[in-house]
Amino acid sequence: MEMVKIKRALISATDKDLIKDFAIGLNHLGVEIYSTRGTASFLKTLGINAFLIENYTGFPEILDGRVKTLHPKIFGGILARRDMAEHGRQLKEHNITTFDLVCVDLYPVMKFISDGADLDNIIEHIDIGGISLIRASAKAFKDVAVLVDPLDFTPILEEMKNSGGISFETRKYLSGKAFQHSSKYDKAIFEYLTDNAQSLRYGENPHQSAKYFKDGSYIKEVIRGEISYNNVLDLDGAIELCFGLKSLGYKHSAVIVKHGSPCGVGVSDKNVTEAFISAWDCDPVSSYGGVLVLSCSPDLELLDNMKGKFVEVISAPSYSKDFIERSIDRKKLKVLVLDEAKILSKNKGLYRSACGGILSQNRDEWWNDFNGTGSGELPGSFKTVSKRKASKDEIETMRLAWAVCAITKSNAIIVAEPNKIIGIGGGCVSRIDATNMAVDKAKKVAGINKKCLVLASDGFLPFADSVRSAVELGVTAILEPGGSIRDQEVIDACDNAGLALVFTGKRHFRH
C-alpha cells in the first residue's frame, strides 16, 4: 500500500487546546485545514486560516449545532475510493473535495454521566457528527488517516516530516484505535440508558471506586442488600461450580466461596438443606462470611440451619414467599435471584484486564469431563496407571473432587469422601503446600471414610511427597493430570501404598 500524502485535513474539536500544536504543525507543513465554525475561530487566533465547512458545503450549521458536518460533500470526500475512476467522476460532478486526514474529538458525554448530569443534558452531549466522521474515516483508512488520540499527534507530525506522508501501517493502526474509541463511547451511552452499569459501594478496598456492568449477568435480581465488588467476584466461581455440579447429575448442591476459592461444597440426593450442612461442615471457620450459592430454591429448614452461621450472600434460582419473609430477620443477609438460563451458557468467552491490556479465552467447560459417563465409570480419556483400579465409589468421589478442583485457585488439592468434600487446599505457590493445607483440614473432620477417600489435584504431582501426605491421611485413590518427568515415582509410591492412581491427561488451572 502506498504512502498517503496529507494535502487536506478536516479538524473539529470540542477541547480546542488539545489541537493547538497539532494544527500549527499541519499548517507549517502546508496542509489545508477545513473545520467547523468554533474550531475555525480558534485556529484564526493561532494565525491559521481554515476553510469553513459551511462555506464549503453551502449549508449552514443548524439546530443549535446539532448538524454541522453531516453532509454528502463531507462524507463523500472521506469515503470516496481514490482507486476507482467512477468515484472520481462523481466527486468531480458534485464538486466534492477529498480529505486525507480527519482529526475529531467527541462531546465528553462520559464526564456528564459520571458527574450525575440530568437526562436532557446528557442527551445534548451525545455526539453524532463526530462519531460519524470517526467511523467513516476509520473505514476509509486505505486513503484517509483518522486521529482521535492527542498522544498520536506528535508521532504523526514526525512521520509526515520524515516520510512526506502517512504509511499504510500507521493508517491501519489509527483506524483500529478509532473504532475502539467509538466503541467505548457508544458503550458508555448504552450502559447509562439501559442502567447496565451499577455503581458499587467500593472496589476490593474502601479507597477504590467500582462499577458492575450487568449486561449478560447471571444475577437476575437483588431482592435485599447491596452487593459489593468482592461479592460479585466470589459469586462467579460459586455459581459456576454449583450449577456445574447440577449438570453432572447432583440433584442438590450448595457452594460457599470466600476470597475467590470454594471453602465449602456439599451435594445431596435428599434436599438442598442437607447439601448446605455438608458444605458448611467442610470448613466452618473459612465459610463464615462467605457467599452461598444453591442449585435450587431453599426451604425454611435451610433458614433454620443457618442460625449461628453467617453468610454474607445467599443466591438461588428462586425463593418461596415464606423464605423471603422469614429471612428479613437476618438483617445482614443479601438475597439474590440467579438467572439459571444464562449460567454455564455455551459460547461465553472470558475476559480480564492484565498489564494494561485485555486477556481473552474460551470457558473451561470442566463439567464435560465426566458428562456422558455412567455411575462409577471413568471417562474414556482418563487412564488408570496404578496396579490397583479405582472402585466405583472412588470413581464417583473423583467426579465430585475433580469438579471442585476446577474452580479452586491453583495450586489446588481436594480431599473428598463419597458425596462430601472434607479438605480444600488452594491458591498455593507449591503443590505440596496445597496438599498439606487440604490434608490438615481433612484431619479435623470426624469419622473419615477410610474405605473411599480421594485426593484430586488440578495439575500434575511433581513429586511423590504429596502421595506420602495422602497416605498418612488414609487416602485410597488419587486423581491428577499426569505429565511430570517424575510420573513414575508417583506411580511407584501409589503402588507401594496400594492406592489407585488415575491420570486425566488434562489440567484445570485457575489463576
pLDDT tens sequence across 469-484: 999 999 999 999 999 9
What are φ and ψ of residue 193, in 5° steps?
-70, -25
Q: Give the separation between CA 449 and CA 446, rounded to whole angstroms.
A: 9
- What average pLDDT does the segment 175-204 reach? 87
Contacts made by residues 68-77, CB under 8 angstroms, sequence distance 24+:
68/12, 68/36, 68/37, 68/129, 69/10, 69/12, 69/36, 69/129, 69/130, 69/132, 69/133, 70/128, 70/129, 70/132, 72/96, 73/97, 74/10, 74/99, 74/133, 75/132, 75/136
Note the pLDDT tens digit of each residue in 353-401.
Answer: 889 888 999 888 898 898 777 788 899 999 999 999 999 999 999 999 9
Q: Copy the grid coordinates of residue 176.
A: 483500529
When mean pLDDT is compared across 284-288, 341-345, 474-478, the lowest value belongs to 341-345
Is the model more confident about 293 or about 4? 293
pLDDT number for residue 1: 63
Q: Give the separation between CA 504 and CA 457, rounded to whole angstroms.
A: 10
Q: Give the separation between CA 108 and CA 126, rounded to whole angstroms.
A: 8
Q: Give the separation between CA 466 and CA 459, rounded to whole angstroms.
A: 12
Helix H or strand E segment including 162: helix 153-163
- What average pLDDT does the segment 270-292 reach? 94
What are φ and ψ of residue 2, in 5° steps?
-80, 155
Look up the CATH number of domain 223-338.
3.40.140.20
Is the per-residue pLDDT at 166 higher than 80? yes
* Percent of residues in the chain assigned helix, strand, coil, to nearest 5: 40, 20, 40
Helix H or strand E segment including 118: none
pLDDT number for residue 122: 84
pLDDT category at 347 given cuts 50, 70, 90 is low
Report the DSSP beta bridge partners of residue 425: 413
- Number of neighbours of residue 294 by Cβ within 10 angstroms: 26
When mean pLDDT is compared across 22-26, 160-164, 193-197, 363-367, the lowest value belongs to 193-197
Contact in structure between 392 and 376 (CB atoms under 8 Å): yes
Q: Copy the grid coordinates of residue 65.
A: 449545532
Give percent above pLDDT 90 in the chain: 62
DSSP state at residue 316: E
Contact in structure between 325 and 303 (CB atoms under 8 Å): no
Dihedral sign from CA coordinates of 199, 201, 203, 204: negative
Q: Give the separation between CA 172 and CA 163, rounded to whole angstroms.
A: 17
pLDDT category at 148 given cuts 50, 70, 90 is very high
pLDDT category at 346 given cuts 50, 70, 90 is low
Is the per-residue pLDDT at 427 higher than 70? yes
Q: Copy the grid coordinates of residue 45.
A: 487566533
Q: Grid coordinates 448446605 are at which residue?
A: 276
pLDDT number for residue 14: 86
Same fold, 8-193 and 369-503: no
In angstroms, the Cα distances linking 214 to 197, 217, 221, 232 are: 6, 5, 11, 11
Q: Give the separation between CA 351 and CA 436, rounded to whole angstroms.
A: 32
pLDDT number for residue 160: 92
Q: Give the separation between CA 132 and CA 182, rounded to whole angstroms.
A: 9
pLDDT number for residue 256: 96
Note the pLDDT tens digit of each residue in 249-269.
Answer: 899 999 999 998 899 999 999
Give the closest residue to 24 by CA, choosing from 223, 157, 185: 157
Cis peptide before 411 (omega within 30 of 0): yes
- What average pLDDT does the segment 10-34 reach? 90
pLDDT number for residue 91: 85
* For the chain, domain boundaries: 8-193, 223-338, 369-503
pLDDT number for residue 280: 95
Which residues are annotated as catalytic?
A: 139, 259
- What average pLDDT does the segment 261-289 reach? 93
CATH fold group of domain 8-193: Rossmann fold (3.40.50)
Length reported for the chain: 511
What are φ and ψ of residue 283, in 5° steps?
-160, 80
- What average pLDDT does the segment 59-69 reach? 82
- Number of neighbours of residue 26 by Cβ within 10 angstroms: 24
Note the pLDDT tens digit of each residue in 195-240.
Answer: 777 888 889 999 998 888 888 889 999 999 999 999 999 999 999 9
Note the pLDDT tens digit of each residue in 105-147.
Answer: 888 888 887 777 788 888 888 888 889 999 999 999 999 999 9
Can you give the pTM of this predicted structure? 0.76
Q: Give the separation between CA 215 and CA 342, rounded to whole angstroms.
A: 11
Is the per-residue pLDDT at 437 higher than 80? yes
Is the model more confident about 345 or about 368? 368
CA 499-504-508 angle, 5° bins: 115
- Number of neighbours of residue 434 by Cβ within 10 angstroms: 26
Contact in structure between 242 and 294 (CB atoms under 8 Å): yes
Q: What's domain 369-503's superfamily in CATH?
A: AICAR transformylase, duplication domain (3.40.140.20)
- What average pLDDT does the segment 60-77 reach? 85
Secondary structure (H, E, C), 14-29: CCHHHHHHHHHHHHHC
Q: Give the separation between CA 219 and CA 342, rounded to whole angstroms.
A: 9
Q: Give the separation between CA 497 and CA 270, rounded to whole angstroms.
A: 35
